[in-house]
Chains A and B, each alone.
Chain A
Amino acid sequence: MILEALTVGLVVSACFAVFIDEAVYSVAALAGTFLFTSALYASSGAIFVAVFQFAVGVGTLAILFLSGEMLGGKIENKPKPRNVIVVLVSGVLLSLPAAFLSFFGATSSVPSPSFGETLWNLRAVDVVLQGLVVLIVALGIGIVLFEKERKGEM
């Protein structure tokens, strides 16, 4: 059941990332896509891949938020509720075949070490901490840029 919920969330957030016009909302939806992919890997047993996906996603998103904030300017058009509902429904409908059909039999699962072993013995905790540091720095710079723009200094 968890895998199916993650699948629906992944496809819906991918649809939002492509179909929502505003850049910042689109990048936020892409963040959801990376997060759901990472959770999908983790729940399938591929912990190390999940950590890598999380770190790569965090780096990409940090740069995307910065460039979106720098190049995109102020948010002028918020997405209309009708468009949001249409994208949501189409995303759920698109994800149904992946969630409930199976052409190749049982779900593939990846043999992998446990979460604690991956974090500590394989040193994945270093990757996670570096990703978090990059994300926090990028968020700080983003907030400074946003505040400067709000005060009209830029």
Chain B
Amino acid sequence: MDFVILSLILLAVGIYGLLTKRELLKVFISVELIATAATLNFVMLAPSVSEQVGEAFLVLAFSTDTAVSAVILALLVIARKKYGTSDLSQLVEPEKQKDKSEVET
């Protein structure tokens, strides 16, 4: 089996979710999948460079991944508290969505 193809497939699934899903939680899950794909590449290609360099990149990748997760989760909680929704399409233009719902009612 080939880990590069596996990480490409994970990357494709993550990018598809990032482009098509509107829920902030789904966006977070897609970002996690993309980060997992990147980490998989770092781990499996590390022995071809140097083990120390690979470990350094790995720790960097894990810490970046955790920081990104924290930021997205904070955004999710703030958006949910402030606007009452985590739908990205409603978060981008809340005024338009309000007007639409008023017209419909």
Q: Chain A interface mostly helix, strand, loop or mixed?
A: helix
Q: How far is the CA of A137 from the CA of B43 in the complex (A)?
A: 30
A53 within 8 A of B: yes
Expressed in whole angstroms, the minimum distance between the Cβ of B30 and any Cβ of chain A is 6
- Interface positions of B from 61 to 105, Cβ below 8 Å from A: 62, 65-66, 69, 73, 76-77, 80, 86
Q: Give the interface residue-count category, chain A.
A: 35 or more
User: Per a CB cutoff under 8 Å, which of B26, B40, B62, B76 touches A67?
Assistant: B76
Residue in chain A with minimal CB distance to B80: A71
Q: How far is the CA of A100 from the CA of B13 in the complex (A)?
A: 19
Q: How far is the CA of A47 from the CA of B77 in the complex (A)?
A: 35
Expressed in whole angstroms, the minimum distance between the Cβ of A87 and any Cβ of chain B is 11
Q: How far is the CA of A59 from the CA of B73 in the complex (A)?
A: 13
Are B40 and A37 interface neighbours, CB within 8 A?
A: yes
Are A97 and B21 interface neighbours, CB within 8 A?
A: no
Q: How far is the CA of A110 from the CA of B49 in the complex (A)?
A: 11
Are B43 and A67 interface neighbours, CB within 8 A?
A: no
Are B69 and A60 interface neighbours, CB within 8 A?
A: yes
Residue in chain B with minimal CB distance to A17: B29
Residue in chain B with minimal CB distance to A63: B73
Q: Chain B interface mostly helix, strand, loop or mixed?
A: helix
Q: How far is the CA of A30 from the CA of B35 in the complex (A)?
A: 13
User: Per a CB cutoff under 8 Å, which of A7, A26, A53, A94 touches B13?
Assistant: A94
Q: How far is the CA of A64 from the CA of B28 in the complex (A)?
A: 10
A contact residues around B80 at 8 Å (CB): 71
Are A98 and B33 interface neighbours, CB within 8 A?
A: no
A15 within 8 A of B: yes
Known: A95-B6, A98-B2, A98-B5. 18 other contacts (CB 8 A): A14-B33, A18-B14, A30-B29, A30-B32, A53-B39, A53-B62, A60-B32, A60-B69, A63-B69, A64-B73, A67-B73, A68-B25, A72-B25, A94-B13, A101-B2, A108-B44, A110-B44, A110-B47
18 intermolecular pairs with C-beta atoms under 8 Å apart: A18-B29, A26-B29, A30-B29, A37-B36, A44-B44, A46-B43, A49-B58, A53-B39, A53-B62, A60-B66, A67-B76, A94-B13, A98-B2, A101-B1, A101-B2, A102-B1, A108-B45, A109-B47
